[in-house]
A and B are shown apart, each in its own frame.
Chain A
């Protein structure tokens, strides 16, 4: 069975790359659809520790903290990349990369979310790439279904 292609999306917004980058990261709470896409009961903010190796952490209104992933690239205003495992152990991380490129009238935001079939460093537990892809995706969606049911 073949690996799944990454999710890829592009949009153009009327902001300079620096502002677009800032809104995407520091201003994430202004637009992120927390309803159905958060770890805590009620999310308040998502903090980017702006450096390679820095954490991306959701902070709930109750003060709880939940790791979304770890930054693997931090290159404002051009790009950032991170492991992505909200509500999951890091061993189930997929890979997210966002690029911000100046275009006429604003900035193109290019999103790539892939690595569905990679388990990361926990190679011993790997039965096969494909299986791990399934595991991650299923657990991700289980978490989502649970959240949506709890609404």
Chain B
């Protein structure tokens, strides 16, 4: 799971691949449709798509002579899990500090 999330994040660290993912957020598209929207060649788009596919972010199906790419719904869940992990890390540090903090003098019986 962790390795998969890292692969997804590494794949998205490239601006062209991020742009491709954004296009696919709207709807599925063929390689040609994606290339039309971006300032990169079609072979370059294909290369990026293969990488995104390898990272589990997109999937494709063949429609006649063209390949149509779509986002993998699991990919979003993967990214959400990363945020989940961020909070887990943060809260464990919080707990560590909290449990080693000398509590303020008890005021329970003050009045």
Query: Contacts of A33 on B, CB cut-off 8 Å?
Result: 86, 89-90, 93
A12-20, A48-56, A59-67, A118-126 - the one binding chain B? A12-20
Total residues of chain B contacting the partner, CB 8 A = 34
Chain B residues within 8 Å of A24, by CB = 94
Chain A 21-58, CB-CB to B under 8 Å as 1, else 0, gives 00110010011110001000000000000000000000
Q: How far is the CA of A95 from the CA of B79 in the complex (A)?
A: 17
Q: Say whether A151 faces chain B, with CB atoms less than 8 Å apart.
A: no
Among B29-37, B41-49, B61-69, B96-104, the one that faces the other chain is B96-104
Which secondary structure dominates chain B's binding surface?
helix
Per-residue interface assignment for chain B, residues 76 to 108, with 1 indicating a CB less than 8 Å from any chain A CB and 0 otherwise: 110110111011111111111111010110000
**Given contacts A32-B93, A33-B93, A137-B76, is CB(A23)–CB(B101) below 8 Å?**
yes
Which of under 10, 10 to 19, 20 to 34, or 35 or more describes the interface residues of A?
Answer: 35 or more
List A contacts of B101 (CB < 8 A): 15, 19, 23
Question: 10 closest pairs, A vs B, by CB?
Answer: A13-B98, A31-B97, A31-B93, A134-B25, A31-B94, A145-B13, A7-B84, A137-B79, A14-B99, A15-B98
Using a CB–CB cutoff of 8 Å, the interface residues on chain B facing chain A are 9-10, 12-13, 18, 21-22, 25-26, 73, 76-77, 79-80, 82-84, 86-99, 101, 103-104
